[in-house]
Structure 1
Amino acid sequence: MNKTSIIPKPLAEYDLRLLRIFVSVVDHGGFSAAESALGITRSTISIHMSNLEERMKLKLCLRGRGGFSLTEDGQTIYRAVINLFESLNDFSLLVGTLSKELNGELVILCDDQLNRSRQNKLAEVVQLIHKNSPNLHLVLDGEPISNIEKSLLKDKAHIGLFPDYQHIEGLHYQHLMSEAVYLCCAKKHPFFNKVDTLISPAELASVPAIHPGIDIDSLGIEQLKKLNLAAKSYQFDTRKAMILSGCYIGFMPQSYIQHELNHGEIRIIQPSQLTYPFNLSLVAKKSPREANKVKLLTDIFNRVFDPQ
């Protein structure tokens, strides 16, 4: 095969289109799997891939009974194309930072479901974002803490909201709010109708309890040491469901169980002793790519959560 590529310099839009199809095929592990993502048939994908290989004068992939795989040249081209598209994205972001009007995506990620109070606060944040920068495309979503940390470090998100339980190098943490967390049980649990003074430390340590799933502050760790940690739940909503089963006791913020408290479905156990603070942090990358967007969000969150 003639090794002289006929890809023009600079790249034509047609070649960029073929390269995007190539990346999608690789990311999805084959032609069939890429059909839905690309919105074109397998036969059309095959034609595009053949055209790309012909234009490059390179064999990029192998397909047949053994499945889909990249050749050595294909692996090299794939890595180069990923770098190319990241550079194009960096260029778009750079242009956006030079514009007086903020535009593009503004990504906020939370690690847990929001109670009514935080929903209202977040609604104020959204309102102020829309008022200050109406051209921004707001993305507000929930993710596990580890995913939020990675997204912030990779500039895939601008702000994260999650408990201040550990500090990752490269991220900046700002305390946003605190709320007391209490040990509680449901109506079906043996402790529900038992007076607090009659629940001994030994009894507390004998019944199954729920671990919050992440390392928490020293006060929380000391409280958890008193319990028989037989289950784990990262989110408050799933933890509440486990408590409502009557099989477990667990720590919950009062705001998340107020409805159940009012209706006699859940009770708090020894609130003066079995409690620790839940600290929510506003987290951002220390040197973010889009610093102007992060500053906008930080200023708005500070304004809404600490109006004084």
Structure 2
Amino acid sequence: MSNISQIYDVDLKLLRCFCTIVEEKSFTAAQAVLNLSQSTLSENLKSLEIRLGTRLCRRGPKGFKLFREGEAVYQAAKELFASVETFKQKASNINQSTAYELSIGIQDGIVENPSARIHDAIRRFSEYYPNVRFRMEVMLGFQLTGRVADGIVHVGIGLVNDQFPQLTYEHLFDEQGYMFCSDRHPLFAVPDDELTIGDIESAAYCNRGHLEYYHPERTRHGITCGDIGLGIQSQLALILSGRNIGYVLDHTAEPLIAAGSLRALRPDLVRIVNPVTAMMGPGVVDFKLARRFVDCLIDVHMELGQGRVLPRPAFATSCGTLVERDGVCSVLASARVAAPESPKRAHAAGPAYGAA
């Protein structure tokens, strides 16, 4: 690999293209993200490889594969962009009136939640910092937490992910959902008084991908290993097909219940409660504008009464759904049961699953 004594703007552009290809794991997906033609994207990668003096990846009929040299360049590029971002944040703290861009990531399914007041927080923040430009993107949960941890996204709004302990979380509101099946599923016609927890346990379960580690036994073993829908809409399509049962949030399920397409399975016993939080990575906590936006998020949700926590069960678990049978609490999927903690901070209590 050749030595580079000087970094130019064009090098940064080429590196960003390369990083996008790696993160999307294909040229086709990267084309859509970057809005570039295949020929332009290929030329950019070729120019970067010539500049560095080495091949970075394989592309072609056999698919995409990152070489060892490509992995080294990708990691170095991530560190470079993180350093640039840190400089921009420190520079903006010197003079907050200077125009600046604030990157906000939102997990799918949150904006349309009636309890979400993100638009009010944006309006309030804009009154104080009118020169700040927002860059907002809706993404899947695991993508959101990863980008927040890497410093690519300044503030994330989504569920707690204990795979990223370095993130800081501030509770905003709770989202609630129940286990549903569609009118094409065998359980749809079973009366409530005949539907048992055993019936629910034995049905193939569909999860949203980033919640998979909450239900390890349900999603990875035996006949209950159902499909994975990466995101709320993908999961919903699989549930509506009749192939799986799965959790659907209240606001998402409401119109489908009215249309007769979905039915809640024993809502008196099985439900899910997730804390929606504002999250920041370790490299952003000293970024004043990001902190101010998080303050606005907290304020508007508290002022409008959305900061309340939905009733929680006597016990909570991060790996399964708590149900009640004959007055005895047990876990729908085998999991460790922990005593409840204060819900004021979502990172302290974690995701809550419980009996209604």
The Cα shift of 1:107 comes to 1.1
Distance 1:264 1:295, change over 3 A: same
Please, which moves more after superposition, 253-262 or 168-177? 168-177
**Residue 176 of structure 1 aligns with which residue?**
172
The Cα shift of 1:37 comes to 9.9
Encode CA deviations 1:77-100: one digit per residue, 9 max, x unaligned.
Answer: 999999777656544432211003
Conservation of the 8 A alpha-carbon contact between 2:229 and 2:236: no
- Aligned to 1:297, the other structure's residue is in SS state helix
- Letter in structure 1 aligned against 2:279: V
Matches within 5 A, 1:123-138: 123-138=119-134
Alignment of 1:185 with 2:181, yes or no, is yes
Encode CA deviations 1:102-150: one digit per residue, 9 max, x unaligned.
Answer: 6311111122133533586222222223222121110111233333233
Distance 1:22 1:78, change over 3 A: farther
Conservation of the 8 A alpha-carbon contact between 1:223 and 1:276: no
Structure 2, unaligned runs of 5 or more: 23-30, 60-71, 306-356
Please report the RMSD computed on the Cα atoms of aligned residues, expressed in angstroms. Answer: 4.5
**Residue 347 of structure 2 aligns with which residue?**
none
- Aligned to 1:197, the other structure's residue is in SS state coil
CA distance in 2, matches of 1:141, 1:25: 18
The Cα shift of 1:172 comes to 0.7
Alignment of 1:100 with 2:96, yes or no, is yes
Higher helix share: 1
**Residue 61 of structure 1 aligns with which residue?**
53
**Residue 249 of structure 2 aligns with which residue?**
253
Encode CA deviations 1:194-228: one digit per residue, 9 max, x unaligned.
Answer: 2111113333233322134345798x789989x92
Larger Rg: 1
- Aligned to 1:264, the other structure's residue is in SS state coil
Q: Decide which of 184, 194, 201 is 1:198's aligned counterpart.
A: 194
Distance 1:252 1:132, change over 3 A: same
**Residue 271 of structure 1 aligns with which residue?**
267
CA distance in 2, matches of 1:100, 1:89: 16
- Letter in structure 2 aligned against 1:61: G
Distance 1:264 1:36, change over 3 A: closer
Please, which moves more after superposition, 231-240 or 291-300? 231-240
- Aligned to 1:237, the other structure's residue is in SS state helix
- Letter in structure 2 aligned against 1:127: R
- Aligned to 1:256, the other structure's residue is in SS state helix
CA distance in 1, matches of 2:83, 2:118: 33
Q: Decide which of 112, 117, 126 is 1:116's aligned counterpart.
A: 112
CA distance in 2, matches of 1:206, 1:78: 44
CA distance in 1, matches of 2:82, 2:123: 31
CA distance in 1, matches of 2:216, 2:79: 44
**Residue 287 of structure 2 aligns with which residue?**
291
- Aligned to 2:137, the other structure's residue is in SS state strand
Q: Return the TM-score normalized by structure 1.
A: 0.69
- Letter in structure 1 aligned against 2:106: C
CA distance in 1, matches of 2:204, 2:184: 14
**Residue 213 of structure 1 aligns with which residue?**
209
CA distance in 1, matches of 2:80, 2:218: 51
**Residue 8 of structure 2 aligns with which residue?**
16
- Letter in structure 2 aligned against 1:303: D
The Cα shift of 1:182 comes to 0.6
Encode CA deviations 1:246-301: one digit per residue, 9 max, x unaligned.
Answer: 22211111111111111211111111101121221211124526521122111111
CA distance in 1, matches of 2:141, 2:125: 24
The count of corresponding residues between Structure 1 and Structure 2 is 272
Conservation of the 8 A alpha-carbon contact between 2:209 and 2:230: yes
- Aligned to 1:117, the other structure's residue is in SS state coil
CA distance in 2, matches of 1:107, 1:119: 22
Distance 1:198 1:230, change over 3 A: same
- Aligned to 2:202, the other structure's residue is in SS state coil
Distance 1:198 1:222, change over 3 A: farther
Distance 1:172 1:216, change over 3 A: farther
Distance 1:168 1:304, change over 3 A: same
The Cα shift of 1:174 comes to 1.8
CA distance in 1, matches of 2:15, 2:112: 42
- Letter in structure 2 aligned against 1:16: Y
Distance 1:37 1:199, change over 3 A: closer
CA distance in 1, matches of 2:243, 2:283: 46
CA distance in 2, matches of 1:26, 1:234: 24
Conservation of the 8 A alpha-carbon contact between 1:242 and 1:248: yes
